[in-house]
Amino acid sequence: MTGVDPFRHHPELRGKIRPAADSFFRDMDLDLIDARAAEAGRPGGWRTPCDVREAARRDWLEGHWNRDLWVFGYGSLMWDPAIEIAEIRHARCSGFQRCFCLWDVGGRGSPQQPGLMLAIDTGGTCEGLAFRIEAENLDHETFVLFRREMIASVYSPTWLKLETALGPIEALGFAADRTHERIVPDIPVDEQARMIAGASGPLGTNFDYLSGTQAHLKLLGIVDPYIADLHARAHALRSPN
């Protein structure tokens, strides 16, 4: 990696993004995750086999191995990307919007009290962060990224056109795969808030995930009315009367 500061465009984010080495997702232990899933009563075969995921990763990156890669973060990737990055840019994506539509029974939810996680789904716009991976690190960093994002095939890797202050870029993003049974795009916002307010799992509470998203959007000066409204509703449900 070069000696160029990845925070040079956004010094206000220094100390706000978890270093890759400190991330749970950097060296994620799938055997431990499988054991926790079994203890929670999840059926076998819930996640994508490693060889299938790896073959899909290599197919997806065909023709891109010798160049730097941009990755779009719109949720927890914004503060915990788990990858070594060479550059960060504030980015805007047209044609996709945030949506708490991923039914979660194993990360920040449980089979007894499911939660919801973010995806981007078609329509609207979405602002977030773009992270650049240098070509020399592409193989390992995308291995880490796909193991995290594609542990189950709920997302569809998608090439996105992003606008940044330094010009347009193409980036890899993970959008909702509407063919997957765990993608439920039409949950009323009141029900989303109720689920998020009460759910928790091995990775923490669902509300903390929503709060982290809202906090980092605010830090970036990004106004997402959907996230702000959902956060207010979930917070009200958690607050004593």
Q: Which of 149, 170, 181, 191 is catalytic?
A: 149
* 102: exposed, middle or buried (Cβ count in 10 Å: 0-12, 13-18, 19+): buried
Residue 87 one-letter amino acid: E
Residue (of 219, 222, 7) closest to 127 by Cα position: 222
Whether residue 187 contacts residue 119, with contact meaning beta carbons closer than 8 Å, is answered with no
Residue (of 85, 91, 202, 104) closest to 144 by Cα position: 85
DSSP code at position 96: E
87 is catalytic: no
Q: Would you please indicate which residues are annotated as catalytic (active-site) residues?
A: 149
